[in-house]
Amino acid sequence: MMSSTDSGPPFDPIELEVLWQSLIATVNEQARALQRAAFSPIVREAGDLANAVFDRRGRMVAQAVTGTPGHINSLARAASAILAEYPPDSLVEGDVLITNDPYKTAGQLLDVTVLYPVFSDGRVIAFFGSTIHHTDVGGYGIGAGARDVFEEGLWIPITKLMTAGERSPDVWKFILSNVRQPDHMAGDLHAQMASGEVGAQRLRSLCKRHGLADIEALADEIIDRSEAATRASIRELPAGTYRAQAELDLTDGSRVHIVCAITIDADAGEILVDYEGSSGASPFGINVVKNYTHAYTTFTVRSVLNPDLPNNHGSLAPIKVEAPVGSIVNAVSPQPCTARHVVGMFLPNALLKALAQIRPEQSMAEGAGAVWTMQVSGNHPDGSPFITAMFTYAGGVGARFEKAGLSACSFPTGIAAVPIEVVEASAPIHFLRKELRADSGGHGRQVGGLGQTIEFTVDTERAWQLNAVTSRLAVPPEGIFGGEPGAPGAFTVNGEDVTTQARVTLQPGDLVRLDLPGGGGYGAPKGIPA
């Protein structure tokens, strides 16, 4: 059987394509198994997850087609950090690794990463990783009001969730003793492990069919080809530095400035994105860790550069990211970061402005940016608690060169909206309205996408709490190349503006209304010079 130490000929092109498609099918099956088994609606219904296969060196070889850029590209960097503490040869069959360290993984404590080793003949040959959004890890919840990361919830260090096939008892005891819904937490962890086992079984069968002792040589071939193709795409770009900035306003009226400089080194086939000059850290939980900044940066650059290339260690390697340590785009402990998606998902707005100077036909106007997230908690009449999983809504996407912007679409993330029927089934929430906002997209040669309006109440006899994370309430999404801005958003309770980032306590019958922003237009409207 061929292994990474053999010096045989490279893979036959047909065999390589068969192996590649088999890997993609394997990680897709891993993802489907996870979604089917998950307890959390945000995973099961919205697809807020990431799945990937890694070689022994912790390099991402292939990812599932579902999931979010923030999760998958953070997972791509997280695996090596986990294996630095637990090298492959230190593991035994039945070991499973876990962490939610936000500064080494996906940037918030609610995102839990599980790394599942694949053994063959007593040796680790690969890993299947998954990151999903758990409903609750104790602490503050999904809002931005916590004062530091320790207030945001339970921090799980890199450790063994399973040891030689048995639960690591103290680890499970600590985790389940610190969450409000231990059955849901345990169920989602088992779903992550089960999906890893599905991937492991399929990968062992694949290796056996093709006479592979491991996937190291295959990983080298895939990663090297991906990196070479990415560098070749970069060499086609005009060398130079391209700068842009964008402004984001938050619920409390504060502003965040994102400044980026994209430098094309055509000779080396590399791109450097530098965020020097961006805002300092926020006292609220909207700070973004370096992994998450890197994730949405690489996603945006690759979407303009060559989106058809596989997303793996090789295609990510030529894109470098620098950000001031301790800034809003490179958070360090104990800066709070649970709502890091507000800024992280906004980064493409600045990046696309810079990239429009290079490839205007592949760029787009500003959009709403981050999805608006809601989490409701309270008590039933008998005093028993309820808490919803995070549910999200999207505004309009910016218009493009040849197409109007998408309406109520969650770009740049990949999650769908949890159906209102599922949200209503999880807690006593009652939706009164959900519709597109007419004329909220910016005018232009191509019109920006529409935002949407949602209204809901909570049918309870007691006071209840709302964790809400909104943005773009004053500064609208800009148009590009003469296009007009989209409409800003609005967040009200009983017709009054909400002006705090913190959790709010509401009363029975209170009406929450969300008016999400529309996307900016592309190009000057007909009859108006650019």
Encode pLDDT of 335-348 as tens digits. Answer: 999 999 999 999 99
Among 33-47, 236-250, 474-488, the least confident range: 33-47
Q: Is the pLDDT of residue 139 over 60?
A: yes
| Cβ pair 263, 241 in contact under 8 A | yes
Asked if 297 contacts 273 with a C-beta cutoff of 8 angstroms, the reply is yes
Q: How far apart are CA 199 and CA 290, in angstroms?
A: 29
pLDDT score of 372: 96
Integer Cα distance of 178 and 190 in angstroms: 17
Query: How far apart (Å, rounded) are the C-alpha atoms in residues 474 and 467?
Result: 20
Question: Is the pLDDT score of 426 beyond 90?
Answer: no
The Cα angle at residue 151 between residues 147 and 154, in degrees rounded to 5: 150
Confidence at 11, pLDDT banded by 50, 70, 90: confident
Residues 131-152 as b/e (b if ≥16 CB within 10 A, e otherwise) read: bbbbbbbbbbbbbbbbeebeeb
**Residue 492: pLDDT over 50:** yes
Average pLDDT over residues 118-141: 95
**Res 220: pLDDT:** 97
Give the residue with greater pLDDT, 75 vs 2.
75
Strand order through the sheet with 429-436: 429-436, 452-458, 512-515, 490-493, 496-497
**Is the pLDDT reported for residue 509 higher than 90?**
yes
Task: Please tell me the predicted confidence (pLDDT) of residue 527.
Answer: 66
Which residues lie below 8 Å from residue 126, measured CB to CB, with a gap of 6+? Answer: 53, 54, 55, 56, 61, 117, 118, 203, 214, 215
Helix (H, G, I), strand (E, B) or coil at 70: helix
Q: Which residues of 189-204 are buried (b: 16+ CB within 10 A; e: fewer)?
A: bebbbbbbebbbebbb
Using CA atoms in the order 84, 88, 92, 96, what is the torsion angle rounded to 10 degrees? 60
Question: How many residues can be counted in the chain?
Answer: 530
In the chain, what percentage of residues exceed pLDDT 70? 98
Q: Is the pLDDT of residue 2 over 80?
A: no
> 456: which residues sit within 8 A by CB, 6+ positions away?
429, 430, 431, 432, 511, 512
Q: What is the pLDDT of residues 194-227, one digit of tens each?
A: 999 999 999 999 999 999 999 999 999 999 999 9
Kindly state the average pLDDT of the residues 507-514: 97
Taking only the tens place, the pLDDT of each residue in 398-423 is 999 999 999 999 999 988 888 999 99
Q: What is the pTM of this model?
A: 0.94
Average pLDDT of the chain? Answer: 95
Q: How confident is the model at residue 428 (pLDDT cuts 50, 70, 90)?
A: very high
pLDDT number for residue 66: 85
User: What's the rounded Cα separation, in Å, for the pair 464 and 387?
Assistant: 10
pLDDT tens per residue, range 292-342 = 999 999 999 999 998 999 999 999 999 999 999 999 999 999 999 999 999
Residue 8's pLDDT is 46
**Mean pLDDT calculated for residue range 94-115:** 97
Query: So what's the pLDDT on residue 17?
Result: 96
Cα(104)–Cα(117) distance, rounded to whole angstroms? 19
Cβ atoms of 369 and 345 closer than 8 Å: yes
- Report phi then psi at 328, rounded to 5: -70, -15
Higher pLDDT, 389 or 331: 331
3-class state of residue 188 by DSSP: helix
With 0-12 / 13-18 / 19 or more C-beta atoms within 10 angstroms meaning exposed / middle / buried, residue 530 is exposed
pLDDT, tens digit, for every residue of 351-375?
999 999 999 999 999 999 999 999 9
Q: Render pLDDT for 224-235 as a digit per residue (tens, 0 to 9).
A: 999 999 999 999
DSSP-derived letter for residue 396 is P
**Is the confidence at residue 491, as pLDDT, over 80?**
yes
Please report which residue ranges of 86-181 form alpha helices under DSSP H: 149-152, 169-176
